Amino acid sequence: MSSLRPFEPDDLFKFNLTNLDTLTENYDLHFYFTYLAKWPSLFNVVEGPKGEINAYMMGKMESSPDMYQHSEHYLPWHAHITALTVAPPSRRLGLAKLLTESLERAGNEYNAWFVDLFVRKSNKVATDMYRGMGYSVYRRVVGYYSDDPTGKSDGEDAYDMRKPLARDKTFKHIRKKGEEHEVSPEDVW
């Protein structure tokens, strides 16, 4: 049986299988340790019965700087999924849902408006999974990823997907047909 627990520094030496996926973003050690230091309760792993890392999620709470509060791109207080990945042998077992629900609970506890994440437009498996969990596309960020695994261009678009939390009773921060609402990477903070 797998269990959800906070990420620990030693986990950096155990999650290679989880990161060996062309659609999984990999970061340097400093980046992982920064998340661990700033948001330890929002950086979680699903550990298997033998101590292996089956999945992990790097989450945080954030908002845009106050100086941008009158910008159309301003982001109010929200939870953000920076990375979520599941090891290939552990996929389709509900581990991604387990991890996202933990951040959604934390977001509600911190009175956040929504949970958001960025996913490659070409990653249909992930976008379908997130839609199935109640997320929708808020906007398309043109050229967000600097590489394009399809080789068709210099970059790839991202979908900014969101799920409203309890605070957003009127769905103020959700948009219909978000795939058609284009923004540039400079508009995303």
Distance CA 116, CA 27 (A): 19
pLDDT for res 114: 94
pLDDT for res 120: 92
pLDDT for res 2: 83
Q: Is 106 helix (H, G, I), strand (E, B) or coil?
A: helix
CB 24 within 8 Å of CB 57: no
Structure tokens that stand for 105 in this block: 């609970």
Question: Residue 109 phi/psi, 5° resolution?
Answer: -65, -35
pLDDT for res 108: 97
The string of pLDDT tens digits covering residues 61-117 is 998 777 777 777 767 889 999 999 998 888 899 999 999 999 999 999 999 999 999
pLDDT for res 152: 66
Kindly tell me the sign of the dihedral angle through the C-alpha atoms of 43, 160, 176, 183.
Answer: positive
Percentage of the chain modeled with pLDDT above 70: 94
If pLDDT is split at 50, 70 and 90, which confidence band does 118 have?
A: very high
pLDDT for res 83: 94
Distance CA 155, CA 140 (A): 13
Q: Using alpha carbons, select from 150, 166, 157 the residue that is nearest to residue 188.
A: 157
pTM more than 0.75: yes
Q: Is the pLDDT of residue 44 over 90?
A: yes
CB 26 within 8 Å of CB 19: yes
Q: Using alpha carbons, select from 107, 120, 98 the residue that is nearest to residue 63.
A: 107
Kindly calculate the radius of gyration of the chain based on its CA atoms and give it in whole angstroms: 16
pLDDT for res 17: 76
The string of pLDDT tens digits covering residues 6-24 is 999 999 888 877 777 776 7
Burial status of residue 48 (CB atoms within 10 A of its CB: 0-12, 13-18, 19 or more): middle
pLDDT for res 47: 94
Distance CA 171, CA 16 (A): 38
Structure tokens that stand for 23 in this block: 């659609």
In sequence order, what DSSP letters do the residues of 7-31 get, joined into one string? Answer: --GGGGGT-HHHH-STTS----HHH
